[in-house]
Amino acid sequence: MPSATKPNEKLTVRQLCEELQISPSTFYDWRQKGTAPKCIRIPNGDIRIRRSDFEKWLDEHEDAA
């Protein structure tokens, strides 16, 4: 992840998938199951994820190793 993140930055599904190193189909599967980060649907129908929501979601899914 970039060192200087902007909490209001909006990520595309592709950007989120690249950061997590997952396929878009995995993301959409999580979304269907209700386990994906909180999403925003913009007027053209595309999905965006707020950086702050993504960071919060990551913290909630952190596993103590």
Ordered per-residue pLDDT tens for the chain, 65 residues: 444 567 689 999 999 999 999 999 999 999 999 999 999 999 999 999 999 999 999 999 888 65
pLDDT at 63: 82
pLDDT at 64: 60
pLDDT at 9: 94
Rounded CA-CA distance 64/5 in Å is: 24
| Torsion region of 45: left, alpha or beta (phi above 0 gives left; psi -120 to 50 gives alpha) | left
pTM of the complete model: 0.82
How far does CA 20 lie from the centroid of its chain?
8
